[in-house]
Amino acid sequence: MGRSDFWYGKRTPLWLIPVLAGGVLALGLWLTDAFESGYETPAAAEAQLTIEFWTPFSGGDSSFMNGLVARYNEENTDGVTVRMTNHKLDDYYMKLSTAIVTGQAPDIAIVHASKYAQYVPAKFVTPIAADEAQQAGVDWRGYNPNILGRTILSGQHYGVPLDAHFGVLYYNKKWLERAGVYKDGKVILKPGEQGFTEFLQKIRGSVPDSVAPLAVPNIRIDSLWLWWSLYSQIDGGGRLYTADGQHAGLNMAAARKSLSYVDSLYRERLIPPDINDATSQFARGDAATLFLGVWSIGLFEQAENLDFGVMPLPQIYDHPAAWGDAHTLALPAQAKTDPAKRQAALRFADWLTRHGDVWAQAGHIPAYEAAAQSPVFLALPHRSDYADAADDVAYFPDHPKQGRVSDELVVELEKLWSGSQTVEGMLRGIPAKIDRILEE
């Protein structure tokens, strides 16, 4: 796999940058733009060991993580200080990859589970040996197996799972009550395509024209998450590649069925066109329902005059599923391994995941099962309404080229929603486009 596969963000590919020429200097300049946690107590200033922790969080996520790092620095008795540096997600993996290549990697870093298929073959993250995990107190049996499985490759652990985050359906209680599809604290929704379509049609017939029955942008990756969720709900769906990963291998019948249905929601304007910022639109009360990740709950809880609820994405096909990913704590490859720092990083990771009920205030579901079942977590509003959906997360395939394939799918979906191509046209063309990416 070429290094160029790592310079891809969520949406737009970032072509290969010159790492060897001025890489270290560029990294230093980037770091000046990043945010370093300032939570260092007098005791921490005298610590025997400092470990560097990189994160890609924004908004409330960053604040919650800063608070947890500050608490760990106060409470741990190992003489360890964790220094957190937060980066923007858009270029986080470019910076992290460059730091690893140039021998300037942090001791521990947040790595999305979807990145392991790229980072493990490139040896950008290191395996966690059984003895060092045991010494740090990490008990793999305590984690949600669906999330933990995303950090295991070829039988080896490469990360400590922190959380799961996935697509859910937010709803505005006022608009659903007006449409007669929310009564006695429950959403009234019949199963299947017809049931969900009728649900949205009732909403459209009851709310002002300015209110979207369902808000999903027709640009960026959000609509890919929606289609992937429904495609994965169909038995035999959720496939993009052949078993050997060398060629495109979609289940065409399942892809056609789910894609045609999502397309019908756009064509019938149950998802209105030209939605750019669906999050703000829902927060303002201008959308009756919204498909988006759990990370927006904190924002909506702070929105004025917004009485909302949240539920798992409805099961429209054979079994429940919704697109998702997971934050994990990984140990990046170092120019020179320091066993003491590795052990300190693992102890911090173990502590952090055990306090996942605090992290859950950001909206995520803790990967550590005791945290997900704790009174602190269960007392949080809304979380228990979708917590069980962590068992039904439909991850993108583990493939080194998945980031590029996702970018290509987003482009093709944008053409479909705009009316410049048909479902059949997209399905005819996409296998060749995927094969071309896999051959590069």
Smallest Cα–Cα separation from 97: which of 2, 32, 220, 11? 2
- Domains by residue range for the chain, with CATH: 3-162+326-354 (3.40.190.10), 166-324+397-439 (3.40.190.10)
Tens-place pLDDT, residues 109-146 = 999 999 999 999 999 999 999 999 999 999 999 999 98
CA 400 to chain centre: 17
Please determine, for residue 428, whether its predicted confidence score (pLDDT) is greater than 50.
Answer: yes
Region 326-338 average pLDDT:
97
Mean pLDDT computed over 152-160: 96
Q: 17: which DSSP letter?
A: P
Tokens linked to 420: 């410049």
Q: Which pLDDT score, from 0 to 100, does residue 375 have? A: 92
- SS3 at position 31: helix
What is the CA angle 24-25-28, rounded to 5?
90
Q: What number is the average pLDDT over the span 290-315? A: 94
Whether 39 shows a pLDDT value over 80: the answer reads no
Indicate if the pLDDT at residue 5 is higher than 60. no
pLDDT at residue 208 is higher than 70: yes
**Which amino acid is it at 433?**
K
| DSSP secondary structure of 202-237 | HHHTTS-TTSBSSB--SSSSHHHHHHHHHHHHSTT-
Over residues 82-90, the mean pLDDT reads 93
Contact status, residue 8 vs residue 83, Cβ threshold 8 Å: no
